[in-house]
Each structure stands twice: as structure tokens, then as C-alpha cells.
Amino acid sequence: MKKLIIVSLSLIVLQTITAQEHGIINNSQSPHVKLKSIDMGDCIWTEGFWAEKFKICEETMVPYMGSLLTGDVGHSLNNFKIAAGLKEGEHKGMHWHDGDFYKWMEAAMYVYAQNGDEKLLQNINGYIEIIAQAQEEDGYLQTQIQLRDNFDRYENRRFHEMYNSGHLLTSACIHYRVTGQSNFLDIAVKHADLLHTLFMPESKQYGRFGFNQTQIMGLVELYRTTGNKKYLALAEKFIDNRGKYKVESTYTTQGYPIGDMVQERTPLREADEAVGHAVLALYYYAGAADVYAETGEKALLDALDRLWFNVTAQKMYVTGAVGQAHYGASTNRELIQEGFIDKYMMPNLTAYNETCANVCNSMFSYRMLGLHGESKYADIMELVLYNSGLSGISLEGKDYFYANPLRMVHDTRDYHTHANVTESAHREPYLNCFCCPPNLVRTIAKVSGWAYSLSENGLAVNLYGGNKLSTHLLDGSELELTQETQYPWEGTVKIVLQECKKDPFELMLRIPDWAEGSTVLVNGNDAGIEVNSGHFATLDRKWKKGDEITLIMPLEVSMVEGHPFIEEVRNQVAIKRGPVVYCIESTDLPKETKILNVYLQGKSDLSAVYHKDFLGGVTTIEGNVLLRTNNNKEGMYRTVTQPEWETHSTQFVPYYAWSNRGEAEMTVFMPIIWE
Ligand SMILES: [Zn+2]
């Protein structure tokens, strides 16, 4: 009898320990998720690439961005203060500026989850007090409307109320999970209750209101945090509403793009092509993946599978970037901005590739990784992180790109005439449209939470980087391990178990799609398991403290070509080593060399060299290029002249690190000469 009581008591204790309810997305109870989140703070970077990036994030990116947003440059805290009656003044910034502030707060909470900096939390809690005072009695909280007499609540979706709401809900859930404090969550609940009252009933007025729909992800997280199903129902409602109402009706949509631009021409469950604004589309798909995680509706997953394929296999750049055009048309011939055009239509020089869209691509893929448990989704997360994600911020952590084209040629575009100045030849210290910087910084801050997932009886290693993991498997058993690696510059990863249960469990190692010929050793001996690139290699066995797993991935320099349908890169190649895509900058060429005169010699030896003190510590690729010296004819079309060449020995730098040595021309793809 006594024994039984002990057993049942320990079960209760176990239950409280085991629930992994503090993940970036809390899918601990989600019935249709195969790989679940570890808790924030379980994985701490210790060495190498991500430890260094996180340090910059902690010491520079978050504090510096905080000084912008809480000061007069960014003005977003000012907006809340004015709405709270604590300050005189007017609203400044884009309609979505509140949302961008919430994103920065979220980034700060990821940092706090890692370092426990109480001063940081105190500051955030101070801002939450101001935000609480800015919130109206009924829960409404949108400074862009509250501070402007000429706008009414929910009058027009272009005012981005849903976007701000979504980031509010997400940020508050993260704050609650990290701190256990409900001050921010209370604001979010009050706000979501108002949304539920207005948007849950069937209504022509509000049926098409969802716009830039981060609120779907936010509502699902709020459901997961509070257990209140009405938030999940509302999230699903926003999906159901899309494509249901006639696009020609004008309720709440006057003066702003409609149809494919905002993914409302085709209901999601019938969609097989990503259309319209890339950020809008991918936030929407990511939200739908969260809804599927709870409802298990097959039609939703089928659609998401089709869309993920369309995005990543037909409309994505080699850098993981998405959203090919600033202005263009969908395949239904509707005008779109900042988004998807036809498949395989991949301009380099004019590519838009908004940093947010690239980040959203990885957010969508992280959710799909959870749903399917397949490593190909983590391949995309990684591709974005090392390339089109990080390219959005300078190495120092203070300057930002909004657009991430794959080629930069000076004097081909007048960037200053672009209405929003969202495209630029160099990174800017502040962008009037500030959606991308905090989106990227919150992502850099949270990569450790993406690095591992929990399977039914084990652990999946999604991303590599030196770290210490201290977590619980889903059965509540303790698991501690360390990961040592200089990835992505070196291909060897060593994992050492520090603490684990006695019963067998699985360790799943992602073998990236490029890592053909990888090997896995356990305690120095071949593991005797199948190791296939593009899949998880699963070690299912008994483990003990001190067991050492070694993954060796061959990191070779490779040339990558595009599908023949991609006209823009025919007879051109990009250089890639592991997950890192390279580019050539005019800085590394003889003075006055135009980047369009650079050709790659197919047979030239390309070798990888690590430089500790260059560009924050990078491996460059060294080799020869051919510079065409007689490409001076005028005119749009010219009679061909036999090319003349100079050979030049140079280096290629990681794409993400370009434009950190002054303004330069740059290209990822280069024409190739095979002779
Ligand atoms: Zn953005």
C-alpha cells in the first residue's frame, strides 16, 4: 500500500515535470504533432557559430534595437505612451509599428530565457505597464488608430490591426512561458476576447478582415497557453473566411490590393500555389499549420503540403529566400506586390526577398517539421538561417536589409525613388518600415529553441551548433547532453550524453540534403544504421552517461546550377559549401571591375579556408575567376565579339556577410566557362 502511494505521488511529480509547455510554440498537448518543442532555455549555445551570433544578439542587436524603438528614432514606445496618456504627441511610424515593438519584446524574452538578465525583464515589464495603460477598457489596443482621429476601429484591413494583434498575442504568450508572470498575458486575453466578440460571428462586414494574418498563430498560442478553445475556433475561422466572400465586395478593403495579393481568391484548402505577398502568405500558412496541429483536418494538411512544395521547390532562391518580385502578377494575372510570381521565374538583380518573408519561410518549415517529423523541413530552416535570414543584418548587428537580392549592380536602379525605401544598395541603421529587423532579431534569439525537438521516445537534432542541452523526454525522463562542433565551417559534430534514462530511446540526427556520404559513429565505432542525406538517421538503443556520438558530414565546395526552367541562371552557377551559399563582391576584384564581367572557370580549384578574424570568423572559398575585358559595347543587343579574359585569383565570401566592407557590387550566380 505504501509503495503504491509513493508510485502515484511520483507520477504526479512526473506530470508536472514532463509537460514541455514552455516551447517557442507550445505543442506539448497538440495531438497532431510528431516532433514537439523543447522548452525555451533548455538549449544553451556554448561555442561556435550560433554562440557567437547569440552573443551579438544579446549584447548588441536587442539592446541597440531597444534604444531605437523606445527612443525618438523608432517612436514605437512613444506611441504607446501617448495612447496611455503619459506623453503628448502624435503617432509616428507605419500602421504595423505596434506589432514590430511586440516582436522586439519577444526577442528580448528569448534572450532572457537564455541569460536570466533581470534588468532586461524589468525593462520589459515597465513597457508592459505602459501598454496596459494604452489598452482601452474593452481590450482594443492599436495606437495607429487610437492616436488618429480620422481612422475608425476595424474600418479597413490595411491598417494592419490583425498583424499587430497577432504579434501582441504571440509576444505575451512567450513572456508568460518564460517568466510565469501574467501581466502581458492579461492584456492579450482581454484583447483576444474583443477579437472573438467581433470576428467570430458570421459577418459580411468583417468576413475579409484578416490581413497579414499573424493573428492565426497568435490565437493558437493563446489557446495553448490558456486552454480556452474559443481562441482556436477563432483562428480556424480566419482560415475558413479566406476565399469565402466575393473579392469584389468592398467592406473593409477599400483602396488596397485584393484577391491573390492577400490570398483570398482561392480558399486555402483548395490552394496548390503560393500567391501574392510572400510575408502575408507564409504567416497565413504557418498559422494554418498551427491550426492543423490541433484539429488534424486532412484537407488543411494536404493543402499545406502542396503549398510548401510550391514555395520551396518551385519559387525559392538558392539562399532560401522567397518573394521574387517587388511588383508583379500572380499566375491568375492579378497584380501583386512584394511576393510570389510564376514558378521558376527567379530574377537575381531585382529579387525582392524581404527579410520577413525569408524568416516566415523558416517559421512555416519549423511547423511542418513538427507535423511530419521529416528532416527536409529543417533543411529549409537551416538554409534560411545561414543565408537569406542572416543577410538581413550587418555583422555588427546594427544595420538592416529589407530586400535580399542575389545580385547588386550599381547604377541600375535609383533606390531613393522607391516609395518605401525598402530596397537598398547597403544596409541601413533604421528602416521606416521596421517589420524585418525585429523579426530577424527574434529569430536569431530563438534558434536554440529550434535546434532540438522531442519525438515520442527520444530527441531529434534539427540544427547543429555547440551547445548544452538539459531537457526532459516526453516520458519525463531527464536528458542532458553536450554538442561540440565548429559547424557550418567544419562537418564534424560530437554529441556526448551527460544524463539519460536507462531504457532505450532514439536519437535522430538530421543528415542535410547536401551531406551525401555522411557517417555516424557511436563511441568510435560505426553505428551500423542507415545514414541517408535528406533524412534523419535514427539511433534507437540503450544509452549511458559518457556515450559519444560522432556525425561526420563531408563539407565539400560544390557548384550549384538551377533547373533549366530558371532562365535567369542558365549557364550560371552558385558556390555552396554545406548549408552556406557564397557570393563574390567587387571588393575582392581589381578596382573598377564590374561584377557582370566576372565568370567562373569550371575547372578551377576551389578551396575552403577558415579566417578567424575576417567577417566575424568565416570560411571563404578561394579560386580563380575570369574577368572579361572586352565587354564594352553599347546598345541593348550587340554582335558577338570573341571574349578576352584576364584570370584573377580571388575569394568568395558567405552571402550573409556581404556588404560589410563598404558598398560593393555582388553576385551569387556567375556565368561559367568550362574550357
Ligand atoms: Zn519585413
How many angstroms is it from 499 CA to the middle of ligand 1? 42
Q: Where are the strands (E) in 586-659, listed by range?
A: 598-601, 607-611, 618-628, 645-654
* Grouped pLDDT means (10 residues each) for the chain, 675 residues: 38 49 96 98 98 98 98 97 98 96 98 97 98 98 95 92 98 98 98 98 88 95 98 98 82 82 95 97 98 98 98 98 94 92 97 97 98 98 98 98 95 66 83 95 98 98 98 97 98 98 98 98 97 98 98 97 98 98 98 95 93 98 96 90 95 98 96 90
What are the residues facing 81 on neighbouring strands?
Answer: none
CB 323 within 8 A of CB 352: yes
DSSP per-residue codes, 379-432: HHHHHHIIIIIGGGB-TTSS-B-S---SEE-TTS--GGGSTT----SS-BS--S
| Strand-strand pairing, 618-628 and 645-654 | antiparallel
- The dihedral sign for the CA sequence 613, 614, 616, 619: negative
pLDDT on residue 4: 38
How many angstroms is it from 23 CA to the middle of ligand 1? 24
How many angstroms is it from 622 CA to the middle of ligand 1? 34
How many angstroms is it from 521 CA to the middle of ligand 1? 42
How many angstroms is it from 355 CA to the middle of ligand 1? 6
How many angstroms separate the CA atoms of 76 and 94, rounded?
10
Give ∠ CA 515-520-521 in degrees, rounded to 5.
155
How many angstroms separate the CA atoms of 190 and 505, rounded?
43
How many angstroms is it from 401 CA to the middle of ligand 1? 9
pLDDT on residue 143: 98
Q: Which of 267, 290, 7 is nearest to 169 (CA)?
A: 290
How many angstroms is it from 78 CA to the middle of ligand 1? 21
How many angstroms is it from 253 CA to the middle of ligand 1? 21
Q: Where are the strands (E) in 523-587, listed by range?
A: 525-526, 535-541, 548-552, 557-560, 572-577, 580-585
Q: Which of 594, 611, 603, 591 is nearest to 652 (CA)?
A: 611
Asked if the peptide bond before residue 488 counts as cis, ω within 30 degrees of 0, the response is yes
Strands ordered across the beta sheet of 325-329: 276-277, 335-340, 325-329
DSSP per-residue codes, 18-87: H----SSS--TT-TT-SSEEPPTTSEEEEEHHHHHHHHHIIIIIHHHHHHHHSSTTT-HHHHHHHHTTSS
CB 620 within 8 A of CB 653: yes
pLDDT on residue 503: 98
How many angstroms is it from 433 CA to the middle of ligand 1? 8
How many angstroms is it from 399 CA to the middle of ligand 1? 14
How many angstroms is it from 573 CA to the middle of ligand 1? 28
How many angstroms is it from 440 CA to the middle of ligand 1? 9
Q: Which helix (H) or strand (E) holds 292?
A: helix 278-295
How many angstroms is it from 39 CA to the middle of ligand 1? 27
The set of residues, in sequence order, having a beta carbon less than 8 Å from that of 642 and lying 6+ positions away, is none
How many angstroms separate the CA atoms of 460 and 35, rounded?
8
- Indicate the burial class of 297 (C-beta count within 10 angstroms; 0-12, 13-18, 19 or more): middle
Q: How far apart are the first and last CA of the chain?
A: 84
How many angstroms separate the CA atoms of 419 and 428, rounded?
16
CB 497 within 8 A of CB 546: yes
How many angstroms is it from 324 CA to the middle of ligand 1? 14
How many angstroms separate the CA atoms of 586 and 590, rounded?
8
How many angstroms is it from 431 CA to the middle of ligand 1? 10
For cell 563598404, the residue is 662
How many angstroms is it from 427 CA to the middle of ligand 1? 14
pLDDT on residue 9: 40
3-state secondary structure of 328: strand
Chain centroid to Cα 577, Å, comes to 21
How many angstroms is it from 356 CA to the middle of ligand 1? 4
Chain centroid to Cα 338, Å, comes to 17
How many angstroms is it from 563 CA to the middle of ligand 1? 28
How many angstroms is it from 402 CA to the middle of ligand 1? 6
How many angstroms is it from 214 CA to the middle of ligand 1? 13
How many angstroms separate the CA atoms of 415 and 423, rounded?
6
How many angstroms separate the CA atoms of 66 and 109, rounded?
12
**Residue 668, by phi and psi: left (phi above 0), alpha (psi -120 to 50) or beta?**
alpha
pLDDT on residue 418: 53
How many angstroms separate the CA atoms of 111 and 118, rounded?
11
Alpha carbon distances (Å) from 585 to 181, 622, 629, 660, 669: 48, 13, 18, 10, 12
CA max distance for the chain: 96
How many angstroms is it from 628 CA to the middle of ligand 1? 37
pLDDT on residue 416: 63
How many angstroms is it from 439 CA to the middle of ligand 1? 7
